[in-house]
Structure 1
């Protein structure tokens, strides 16, 4: 009697399988289970595949071992020559690792990895699999960006079948590969169309198994959904070793951060500039977020934010004009509007400042400030009062601090590193919360001015 097809129900959000339909998945989503049928032939081949690749991330059989009998080996890392990428990966790419890079359309994923594979082709046989574009499109990009590569070791493949990709990796003895993208490839061991949870999960598992068994380093490009999260099952994140994400701003600045890294920390942030030559590393990002103007004018204040474990100096600009409408406008670029409303309320309450003006805020360089970055409160208030009252804040002054609803200046995290960053860039006066003051801040060549309340700040800067 012929074996019947197996029926499973797969969650479209997380990719979890169930033997029967149910209303809610374990991930918390409702009505996301879809019925799929697995033919008997695929069940048999899939089981054989699982047996042949069992234990790819550890020891295939042999039982458990005592911890002292296990040899500890240091992960081998290779510098890529792309400074900010090496920084985010904590000293370069880990050989034999599988990494995902995600981002919005146009963020620069393909551009960055084209540069990376060109550099890696000088060191080892490399393959770029273009599952979403033709080979001529990739070649045109390489020529447009004027990338330097080794023509004898850089291979291009236009393929969507995982089994064919693995065969090509085996035949050419590839040690570095890029798959563009994981949502576009399919495997015969899973059911569903390209991009479906079962296909994405199975394809990623098959590619990861091959890489771990053959010490191949691989980067997978992943699409994102409308919530800026990786499209497909969340189990994809658990399969790979590192998850990198490119954040886009309104301008040319790109921020690369690691949301997961098995071979390093996730606090490091890389800053890139997108231009006609590709994604260029920015070694000194503070220069981008400062206007560089030599003239001093009202409505400008400089502060220091923290992106991951990096301190970035940036300039906040404010413009106030008499309103011509019934109600004044409040316009913010790169800032949280609710935070602005709260700070203007604090000014009205504690300083009796009346703001019947159109108010415009802007961050130099197009950077977007997270709502959790409250250390810019004092700089925002200073820039607003500077424009409103027509006084100038010296460009050698850096202002740090969070403002509470009762007008007190609250301490900020990582106060000492921020002060050192400002002092290294030549700032001579640095305003900080009183509780952040530390003796190590002395001797940096800058005057440290602790403030307790907003009244202390206004008395010193006006």
Structure 2
């Protein structure tokens, strides 16, 4: 009788170790290594029926391989099709992750309903009852084909694969990969061995039977996909939903074997589910018809998309000993640095309580430095009580010596602003290009913070 092999695996990153130790040397986490008993006995043919064997079937010369174009199906969800670069690839295995309440199940419920109009589809939930799923479908008023949509509450991978085979399913959702188990691996649900083994079994079946599948994955405390890192390498596409303040959701592909990973999808969470936002700039602009001090509009780059957003600033006389600095959606360290640049190079005195806000609830990463000039303009506008016209767009990075540094993708940003009706655009001097002259807007190229102040006042 074969003996069981003992392995020590980190629950955070999936790294293997020959013996137990207190800290994982790979991810530096403490007390995350657990002992697993791994059986060396080969699984029987009954447990592997339907997905055993090699995918490739032996080696071949390159000239002997038939070239097959990847077939894609449009889902009808505009922003999801954008992120997937033209729709769902037939036979692909995809992961979608995100914080609890981000909208993973809501989005996939809509997706499986739409796909049931085209092919037999299955939604397997291992974390809720079938009645809960039906209530969601009725609440969201989803349109589905009752003859092609199947629901299943199951945690066994072998039972799931048997159902896929019996119903000839071509599109499936597994919610979630941390909740299912396979007989081919030991450990409790969610353990590295079970997550990896379950994903491998499901992926192998999908590749052999041309089934498209979505796997829901949990996230860890760092908002990253939980489980062993090998899980990410097994699948074809890894997508992640980011929750911003309010109802805005951002969908990004961190890996895609059938397209690029720079595309970002914008959704709005409503009582009718996740709604695609075709023109996200409308969300991030206040839409106010009256001009007021303390507002400036800029253009940021989210993935390969250009988004126009409005930065608002309010300055009031401080009532305490120390002025307050409050910002929503912005990096506080960046705000402090910009106020320091103003004091040093323009002799601006800022003895006021200062409040910054981004319209629409979007969060800006610290690496997004193209909003520096807009932040400074909004601050000066509120401080000196002058109005920046709503047809003006300002973008550029500000260095510590007061110079305006260039930003990436200057021409596409300017074109995006012109398409939305902006007639005056301020950009860094080194971003100016002759192609901007015939766009129908006045382009102001700025070299220093002093030039900006002279132009906007």
Aligned equivalents of 2:103 and 2:2: distance in 1?
A: 48
Deviation string, structure 1 residues 53-80 (Cα, Å, up to 9, x no partner): 3432xx222x3x3323322211000000
The equivalent residue for 1:45 is 43
Runs of 4+ in 1 over 6 A off after TM superposition: none
Q: Where does residue 11 of structure 1 map in the other structure?
A: 10
Name whichever of 25-34 and 236-245 sits farther off: 25-34
CA contact (8 A) 2:50 2:165 kept: no
In structure 1, the residue matched to 2:398 is 403
Q: Supply the distance in 2 between the matched residues of 1:66 and 1:198 (Cα, whole angstroms).
A: 35
Structure 1, unaligned stretches of length 5 or more?
A: none
Cα distance in structure 2, aligned partners of 1:49 and 1:249: 43
Q: Give the match for residue 313 of structure 1.
A: 308
Report the Cα distance in structure 1 between the residues aligned to 2:240 and 2:23, rounded to whole angstroms: 29
Note closer, same or farther for the CA distance 1:356–1:24 as it changes in structure 2 (3 Å cut). Answer: closer
Measure, in 2, the Cα distance between the counterparts of 1:270 and 1:326. Answer: 45
Partner of 2:34: 34
TM-score (norm 1): 0.95
What is the match of residue 96 of structure 1?
91
| Aligned pair partner of 2:385 in 387, 390, 396 | 390
**1:219 CA displacement:** 0.2
Q: Is 2:268 aligned against 1:273?
A: yes
2: CA distance, partners of 1:282 / 1:192? 42
CA-to-aligned-CA distance 1:206-246 (integer Å, 9 cap, x gap): 10011001000000001101100111111110110000000
| Residue in structure 1 matched with residue 329 of structure 2 by the alignment | 334
Q: Distance in 2 between matches of 1:18 and 1:51?
A: 33
Task: State whether residues 38 and 191 of structure 1, in contact with CA within 8 Å, keep that contact through their aligned partners in structure 2.
Answer: yes
Which residue of structure 1 aligns with residue 163 of structure 2?
Answer: 168
- CA drift of 1:17 comes to 3.8
For residue 203 of structure 1, the aligned residue among 198, 202, 210 is 198
From 210, 229, 232, the equivalent of 1:237 is 232
Higher mean alpha-carbon deviation, 28-37 vs 135-144, is at: 28-37
- What does residue range 181-200 of structure 1 map to in structure 2 within 5 Å? 181-200=176-195
Aligned to 2:139: 144
CA 1:416–1:16: 2 relative to 1, 3 Å: same
Counterpart contact for 1:13–1:29, Cα < 8 Å:
no
Partner of 2:299, secondary structure, is strand
Q: Secondary structure at the match of 2:370?
A: helix
Pick from 69, 73, 76: which aligns with 1:81? 76
What is the rounded CA distance, in whole Å, between the counterparts of 1:46 and 1:296 in structure 2? Answer: 74
Distance 1:272 1:416, change over 3 A: same
Structure 1 counterpart of 2:345, from 322, 346, 350: 350
Do structure 1's residue 118 and structure 2's residue 113 form an aligned pair?
Answer: yes
1:55 aligns with 2:50: no
SS in 2 for 1:366: coil
Task: Pick closer, same or farther for the CA change 1:110–1:329 going to 2, 3 Å.
Answer: same
Deviations 1:89-147 (A, max 9, x none): 00000010000000000000000000000000000000000100000000000000000
Cα shift readout 1:393-425 (whole Å, capped 9, x = no counterpart): 000000011000000010000000000000011
- Structure-2 separation of matches of 1:410 and 1:283: 31
| Distance (Å, rounded) in 2 between the aligned partners of 1:172 and 1:23 | 47
- Shift, 1:39, TM fit: 4.5
Number of equivalent positions: 455
- What are the ranges of 5 or more consecutive residues in structure 2 without an aligned counterpart? none
Encode CA deviations 1:346-378: one digit per residue, 9 max, x unaligned: 000000000000000000000000111100000
Distance in 1 (alpha carbons) for counterparts of 2:382 and 2:392? 16
2 CA distance for matches of 1:131 and 1:50? 22
Q: Does 1:414 align with 2:409?
A: yes
Q: Equivalents in 2 of 1:340, 1:54: separation in Å? A: 58
Q: CA deviation at 1:456?
A: 0.4
Distance 1:411 1:39, change over 3 A: closer
Asked if the contact 1:423/1:446 (under 8 Å) is kept, the reply is: yes
Do the aligned residues in 1 keep the contact of 2:37 with 2:187 (CA within 8 Å)?
no
CA contact (8 A) 2:51 2:208 kept: no
- The answer to whether the Cα contact below 8 Å between 2:50 and 2:205 also exists between their aligned partners in 1 is no
**DSSP-derived class of the 1:302 partner:** strand
Residues 140 and 291 of structure 1, relative CA distance in 2, 3 Å threshold? same
Cα RMSD (Å): 1.7
